[in-house]
Structure 1
Amino acid sequence: MSAEYLLTAFIICLSPGIGVVYTLSSTMVGGFPAGFWASVGCTIATVIHLVIAMAGLAAILHTSAVLFQTIKFAGVAYLIWMAWAVLNDKGGLSVRAGKPASPAQLVRRGIFLNILNPKLPLFFVAFIPQFVPADSKTILLIELGLGFTGMTFVVFLAYAVVAATGRERLLQSERAMNWLRRAFAASFAALGLKLASEGAR
């Protein structure tokens, strides 16, 4: 696994996306433990997408517009619902301090949020082969994929640590919490709209 690959994977993982926003919002509610379980759920979804890509299902998604659109808009609908729930401080999606969701709920929500992004298996198919020699074996593809998922988990945990560090100060400011709630809601809505605007190719 080359340093170039690891650096590229790190930059990609560091870019804010669905998993990052979900990890940050979960950490604000339940502290680092909640952020940890949110990271686990998002990483599991990444592994599932990796398996899908390696199994060749990404090619099916790429050629079946109906299947791709169905998965995509299910993800869009869920993200818009997340935005509405955060904006209205609903239950487990409230960004205020309170009783956090259970580890199982956090993991399940993280998987569901990320599994409904059909771009991930297509990304694996487009990104990983660039670092694989023509005469390489399948095991190298798997190693690169696992390296990417490991990097994803580490980056998500780093985001959780940062959010947990400043959590107490933010929770003491009503004004800051209101802006934070709006920012998370806007982020989920923007990610949903971005996913909706992307085509299969």
Structure 2
Amino acid sequence: MDASFLVTSIVITATPGTGALFTISAGLSRGARAGIVAALGCTLGIVPHLLLALTGAAAVVAANPPLFEALRWVGVAYLLYLAWGMWRDERGFAEDDADTRTRAAGTTARVIRDAVLVNLLNPKLTMFFFLFLPMFVDAAAPGAVARMAGLGAVFMIVTFVIFAGYGAGAAGLRGVVLARPGVDRLLGRGFALTFAVLALILAFTPHQG
């Protein structure tokens, strides 16, 4: 494997984006387990983008402005939905322990669902796999698809490891945050505003067809 691909994947994944922020939020609100579950969900959300790249469908999406725009605006709407939910939640990152125990399975499913959708509805990932992966694969060489799939798997592993670290780190700060209700609510509003800003950035990012 090209070391430059690994380094570039680490840099891209470690740069805070919607997936990283969602994972941090999950770790702060529900603890280390939820942070790791969110990291797994965000990683699974990469799979459809990789499949698009492997089948060549990513090129169709990138070259089809209406299709790309539709995907982008669904992503914008979902980010705004997450932002609105966080803004309305007066508890910030606090969650009642009894409630957590009785709804653990539902909470896990909800975290995975939201995490998958955060990355699934991110058209930038489609563009990433369409423009970035081919730079490290000779399309004319035998086994090019298998090599691209392998690089995609490496990117997913890097994503999971880094995001799980974000989630676990956030969970480590959970006690400190919850002990200060004012800080807790402020952080919750801050995350809500951050998701809203990311939605606006996605909305006004020009399509690079």
TM bracket, shorter-chain basis: over 0.9
- The aligned counterpart of 2:134 is 129
Shift in Å, 1:134: 5.3
Q: Would you identify which runs of 4 or more consecutive aligned residues in structure 1 move more than 4 Å?
A: none
Question: 2:76, 2:199 within 8 Å by CA — same for their partners in 1?
Answer: yes
- The aligned counterpart of 2:58 is 58
Structure 1: 5+ residue stretches without partners: none
- The aligned counterpart of 2:198 is 191
CA–CA distance in structure 1, aligned partners of residues 107 and 167 of structure 2: 17
- The aligned counterpart of 1:102 is 107
- Calculate percent identity across the aligned residue pairs: 36
Structure 2: 5+ residue stretches without partners: 101-105
1:118-166 deviation per Cα after TM superposition (whole angstroms, max 9, x unaligned) = 1211111111122224553221111111100110000100101110111
Question: Number of matched residues?
Answer: 199
Q: TM-score, normalised by structure 1?
A: 0.93
Please give the residue correspondences for 1:83-102 in structure 2 after superposition, counting only pairs within 5 Å: 83-89=83-89, 94-98=92-96, 99-100=99-100, 102=107
1:60-119 deviation per Cα after TM superposition (whole angstroms, max 9, x unaligned) = 11122111111111110111111111011179xx52233455211111111112111112
Q: TM-score, normalised by structure 2?
A: 0.89
Distance 1:62 1:3, change over 3 A: same
Question: 2:45, 2:120 within 8 Å by CA — same for their partners in 1?
Answer: yes
Shift in Å, 1:37: 1.1
- The aligned counterpart of 1:12 is 12
CA–CA distance in structure 1, aligned partners of residues 179 and 45 of structure 2: 34
Q: Is 1:166–2:164 an aligned residue pair?
A: no
